[in-house]
């Protein structure tokens, strides 16, 4: 990993993100250098990773420091690059920037770029002073605790005690909220939803799947978001919740194809259903 990347640090920006201070984020961000994931081809050329965000908008992930990057991708490419905020904005003009998806203080910015955008609400929950999380070492310690809580919950679930496992996993989710780690908080929420579904708490599970899928989609993790919505739709269908199953399926289709396309496709499906029902009635009458 390049020493240049290791030297990128933005403690003031991290503090503003954790505080949910939109105006302070915008002010500090305008003069900040950020880390952006990239890949290198066989010719040694560097290509920045542009992802597909919600509603098909272009999205790039950017990070305040190396710890935040490694938390998102524990084996980041050596080709990750350091760019100023204006350059990051130029990568996805009119698109979105996911700033520190795995914390600290994860935030999705839209519009013309991070220097001009304001946070869309404060998703961060603080159980202690946010200032300690500006220190990458203390952040890493909290992440280790998250992993320990999560591993304990999995062992409990494997032992068959899903209720206790759900309670233990909530501790990991709470620690992710303290970090503003929306990515891993959503991943843990997906696992929690599956356990709740297995224990019979279907409505609670569907809520968890919906919320986690929305977060994943906002952060550019569309495959994970669609998988979550389809898992939820299948669970709803098995439970006889047809309206929920349809709504979840439509949301998944919207993410993949866009609402205009999905509306037309759903209209065609419903036409075919009506035609099939009419033919069945006609055959019944003939018989």
Please tell me the CATH code under which domain 135-250 is placed.
Answer: 1.25.40.10
Contact 232, 213 (CB under 8 A): yes
- Per DSSP, what are the bridge partners of residue 46? 40
Tell me which DSSP letter residue 100 carries: S
Domain ranges of the chain: 3-109, 135-250
Which helix (DSSP H) or strand (DSSP E) does residue 109 occupy?
A: strand 107-109
Q: CATH number of 3-109: 3.40.1350, 3.30.420, 2.60.40, 3.40.50? A: 3.40.1350
Give the closest residue to 110 by CA, choosing from 48, 179, 58, 186: 58
Q: What is the pLDDT of residues 96-116, one digit of tens each?
A: 999 999 999 999 988 444 433
Q: What is the pLDDT of residue 240?
A: 96
Give the closest residue to 63 by CA, choosing from 40, 38, 42: 38
- The Cβ of residue 47 has, within 10 Å, a number of other Cβ atoms equal to 10
What is the token pair recorded at 132? Answer: 């300690």
pTM for the whole thing? 0.81
The long-range contacts involving 247-254, CB below 8 angstroms and separated by at least 24 positions, are 248/206, 248/209, 248/210, 251/210, 251/213, 252/225, 252/226
Q: What is the pLDDT of residue 162?
A: 94
Contact 235, 228 (CB under 8 A): no
Which helix (DSSP H) or strand (DSSP E) does residue 278 occupy?
A: helix 259-286
- Per DSSP, what are the bridge partners of residue 61? 98
pLDDT of the chain along its 287 residues, tens only?
455 788 899 999 999 999 988 889 999 999 999 999 988 777 777 888 888 877 678 899 999 999 999 999 755 555 689 999 999 989 988 889 999 999 999 999 884 444 333 333 444 434 445 578 999 999 999 999 999 999 999 999 999 999 999 999 999 999 999 889 999 999 999 999 999 999 999 999 999 999 999 999 988 898 899 999 999 999 999 999 999 999 999 899 888 877 666 667 666 766 776 666 676 665 666 55
Residues 6+ apart with CB under 8 A from 20: 105, 119, 121, 122, 123, 124
Q: Which residue's entry shows tokens 């542009």?
A: 50
């Amino acid at each position: 990993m390049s020493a240049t990347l290791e030297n990128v640090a933005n403690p003031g920006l991290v503090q503003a993100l954790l505080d949910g201070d939109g105006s302070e984020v915008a002010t500090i961000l305008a003069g900040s250098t950020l880390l952006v994931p990239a890949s290198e081809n066989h010719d040694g050329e560097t290509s920045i990773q542009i992802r597909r965000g919600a509603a098909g908008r272009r999205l790039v992930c950017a990070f305040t420091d190396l710890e935040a990057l490694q938390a998102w991708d524990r084996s980041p490419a050596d080709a990750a690059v350091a760019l100023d905020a204006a350059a990051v904005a130029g990568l996805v003009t009119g698109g979105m920037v996911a700033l520190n998806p795995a914390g600290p203080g994860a935030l999705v910015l839209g519009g013309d770029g991070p220097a001009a955008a304001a946070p869309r609400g404060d998703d961060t929950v603080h159980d202690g002073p946010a200032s300690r999380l500006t220190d990458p070492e203390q952040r890493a310690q909290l992440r280790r605790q998250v992993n320990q809580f999560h591993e304990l919950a999995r062992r409990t679930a494997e032992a068959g005690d899903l209720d206790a496992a759900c309670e233990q996993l909530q501790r990991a989710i709470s620690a992710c909220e303290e970090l503003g780690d929306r990515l891993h908080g959503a991943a843990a929420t997906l696992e929690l939803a599956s356990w709740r579904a297995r224990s019979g708490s279907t409505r609670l599970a569907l809520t968890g799947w919906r919320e986690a899928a929305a977060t994943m989609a906002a952060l550019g993790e569309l495959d994970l978001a669609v998988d979550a919505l389809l898992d939820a739709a299948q669970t709803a269908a098995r439970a006889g919740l047809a309206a929920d199953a349809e709504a979840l399926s439509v949301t998944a289709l919207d993410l993949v194809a866009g609402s205009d396309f999905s509306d037309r496709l759903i209209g065609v499906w419903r036409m075919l259903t009506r035609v099939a029902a009419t033919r069945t009635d006609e055959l019944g009458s003939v018989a």
